[in-house]
Amino acid sequence: MEGIVLRSINNIYSVRSDQGDVYSCRIKGKQLAQAKGEYNPIVVGDVVDFTLSGEGSSEGLVTFRHDRRSEFSRWNDKRSLNQTICANMDVVVCVCSVESPPFRPRFIDRVIACCKSVPVMIVLNKCDILLTEDELERFELYKKLGYQTASVSAETGENVERFVKMLEGKTAAFVGQSGVGKSSLINRILGTDQRVGDLNAKYNRGNHTTNHALMLDGPGFTLIDTPGFREISVPHDDPHLVAQSFPEFVKASAKCAYDGCLHVNEPDCEVRRLVEKGKINADRYESYLRMLDTMEDRLPVWGRNWGRKCSKGQQ
């Protein structure tokens, strides 16, 4: 049978068959052939083949994971492996908040870089509180760069209906820092009663309330709630993929002297020129360089040959 993974907790997967029945499944054997060297073999949104443990049983064994058409993954520092959070969604909704936790645009830039083959929508929650003018400008930049954006409040319901219209017909994964209000927003949209967190008063941030990803059906769309992070690092080892997640860099790079220019220290670089002229946002550029820094930190010193650290090392 074929099915879609709705939830995964402690290596037990809730899989919904084409007929709409939900089975509790484990993986057959120790590993899936398709998932060697990955942090987690199966994630919410995966399409899998499974067999029933017995006739009429509500339990089964997953035998095969189908190819994914999109993914959201991050680097898991503890295990030094890429960790996929969810798969096969049509859009990633990067939820950020005005306060508690504060608005962190560089976190958003990282979320965008963690998306593979899927568009990103940027949703500012807690709009019942105001951003500073500088923050607002940085948020509005995303719209200018071509991203769909929305400014909503899960608490008051402001703009939520308009936002939901943007999700019609789609499977949307909500990702973002802990405490930004992903579960609160989903509760507001679906009328569900998922646990939402108290804020950690000492640190003014979320407390990791949601501890596993979960797929929930709405009227004409599907939502995936995911556990929030405090920090996020990009999953790839290819810096060019990071550069590709900055549309303004991609556009400018046609005029860089070097093919495959990483816009760090190459001569005659259009991106750096535009940053100096103020035509590319300097904070976005710094955000990009920091992503390269964290990727370089994972490499042995002799393997660093493209970022800031490498150029410092040569001086």
Ligand X SMILES: Nc1nc2c(ncn2[C@@H]2O[C@H](COP(=O)(O)OP(=O)(O)OP(=O)(O)O)[C@@H](O)[C@H]2O)c(=O)[nH]1
Give the residues lining the site for Mg ion (CB under 5 A): 182-183, 209-210
Contacted entry of ligand X, Zn ion, Mg ion, none for residue 263, CB cut-off 5 to 8 Å set by kind: Zn ion
**What is the CA angle 44-116-19, rounded to 5?**
30
d(CA 166, CA 156): 19
Site for ligand X in 199-218 (CB under 6 A): 199, 206-210
Site for ligand X in 145-204 (CB under 6 A): 153-155, 178-184, 196-199
Residue 79 identity (one-letter amino acid): R
Tokens of 99: 């306060």
Least distance to ligand X, CB of residue 177, Å? 7
123 lies in the binding site for ligand X (CB under 6 A):
no
DSSP secondary structure code for residue 56 in this structure: T
Q: Which helix (H) or strand (E) holds 290?
A: helix 282-297
Nearer to ligand X, 65 or 182 (CB): 182
Contacted entry of ligand X, Zn ion, Mg ion, none for residue 271, CB cut-off 5 to 8 Å set by kind: Zn ion
Are 228 and 208 within 8 A, CB to CB?
yes
Least distance to ligand X, CB of residue 251, Å? 32
101 lies in the binding site for ligand X (CB under 6 A):
no
Least distance to ligand X, CB of residue 141, Å? 22
Q: Where are the beta strands (DSSP E) in 44-181?
A: 47-52, 59-65, 71-76, 81-87, 91-97, 115-116, 120-125, 148-151, 171-175
Contacted entry of Mg ion, Zn ion, ligand X, none for residue 180, CB cut-off 5 to 8 Å set by kind: ligand X
Are 178 and 151 within 8 A, CB to CB?
no
Least distance to ligand X, CB of residue 120, Å? 17
228 lies in the binding site for ligand X (CB under 6 A):
yes
8 closest CA partner among 93, 95, 84, 92: 84
Least distance to ligand X, CB of residue 95, Å? 6
Site for ligand X in 18-47 (CB under 6 A): none
Are 5 and 15 within 8 A, CB to CB?
yes
Nearer to ligand X, 1 or 196 (CB): 196
Least distance to ligand X, CB of residue 62, Å? 26
Are 113 and 242 within 8 A, CB to CB?
yes
Are 291 and 234 within 8 A, CB to CB?
yes
Interface ranges with ligand X (CB under 6 A): 125-126, 128-129, 153-155, 178-184, 196-199, 206-210, 227-228
